[in-house]
Structure 1
Amino acid sequence: MKRTAEVTLGIIGTVFYVFSVLIGALRLWMENNKDYLYDFITENQNEMEFTADDMDIIQEAFNLNLAGGGPLLVIMPILAIILGIVAMVLLKGNKNPIAAGIIFIATGVIYVIVTLGGGILSGILFLIAGILCLARKPKTLIEE
């Protein structure tokens, strides 16, 4: 039995997790370079046409200290990518679709819970792939 749908959903979900890694890396970079970003915005305030209210909002955003936000947004999608690849390898040749389905479902659900819904689209794709892995059974031939 071909598992094209499951592998395709896994690949698309993995691509979304790659985007999550990039966003997490950008967030981590911004956390480590707050002074540079704040100086850049204040120097170019007139060119960017920020109002006083906009500057207050930006300053509040720079003062937020969300501990662990950046590293979490980099490490979690990398783990999801690795687990997705493992699940797709288990699907190759229809070797172990049950284990692949469990990995897909667990990865998708745990990622969505840990990121508080941040990766909902990729989590849904992994969840659907996992359900397909568990629900589709190979056809058995009945010999007479």
Structure 2
Amino acid sequence: MNRTAEMVLTSIGLAVYAIMSFFSFRVMSLKDNEEIKNQIEQGLNSNPDMQGAGNVSVDKVLDFLFAGATFVLIMSLIGLILGILTIIFLRGDKKPKAAGIILIITAIVTTLLTIVDFFGGIFYLIAGITALVRKSKNKTVTESSAESY
């Protein structure tokens, strides 16, 4: 059976996870940028809500930002790896059930843990459900003969 729809949806999800990985890596590469530190400090000083909070520092904001970016990067890379695995399973209709289960679990976990991976998760979820619902037309001889009786 041709699993083109599932493979296209999974490929779109892969692209979204790749974009999220790129942006997360890009945010992480700005860690030692003095200009970013100055902009955050100016933002903290100019915001009247933050002026009363004496325990908020630029370093704490940056640590929080980079920890989040690291987590999103890890989850996106996991989504990429599992997406590639499922394309291998879907190619040639080898293991569509396993691919569907992996896609659904990946979509749910990455979306719940990182809200920013929502769009990639949607494509994975639709591809996973489609992989599980569609029946293979390739039946073995024993199944075909058993149905004729």
| TM-superposed deviation, 1:87 | 0.5
Give the one of 33, 46, 52 matched to 1:56: 46
In the TM superposition, what are the counterparts of 1:69-84 in structure 2 within 5 Å?
A: 69-84=68-83
| TM-superposed deviation, 1:56 | 2.4
| TM-superposed deviation, 1:106 | 0.7
Q: 3-state DSSP class of the match of 2:78?
A: helix
| TM-superposed deviation, 1:107 | 0.7
CA distance in 1, matches of 2:119, 2:16: 8
Match of residue 125 from structure 1: 123
CA distance in 2, matches of 1:133, 1:37: 45
In the TM superposition, what are the counterparts of 1:86-101 in structure 2 within 5 Å?
A: 86-101=85-100
RMSD: 2.7
In the TM superposition, what are the counterparts of 1:1-144 in structure 2 within 5 Å?
A: 1-30=1-30, 32-39=31-38, 56-57=46-47, 62=58, 63-64=60-61, 65-66=63-64, 68-115=67-114, 117-139=115-137, 143=148
CA distance in 2, matches of 1:16, 1:92: 20
Relative to the length of structure 2, the TM-score reads 0.75
1:2-46 per-position Cα deviation (integer Å, ceiling 9, x unaligned): 00000000000000001000111122123x22534235x59xxxx
Deviant stretches of 4+, over 4 Å: 52-55, 59-63, 140-144
Count, aligned residues: 131
Relative to the length of structure 1, the TM-score reads 0.78
Q: What amino acid sits opposite 1:104 in the alignment?
A: L
C-alpha contact 1:25 1:73 (8 A) present in aligned 2: no
CA distance in 1, matches of 2:113, 2:44: 31
Identical amino acids, percent of aligned pairs: 30
Query: Gaps (5+ residues) in structure 1?
Result: 43-51
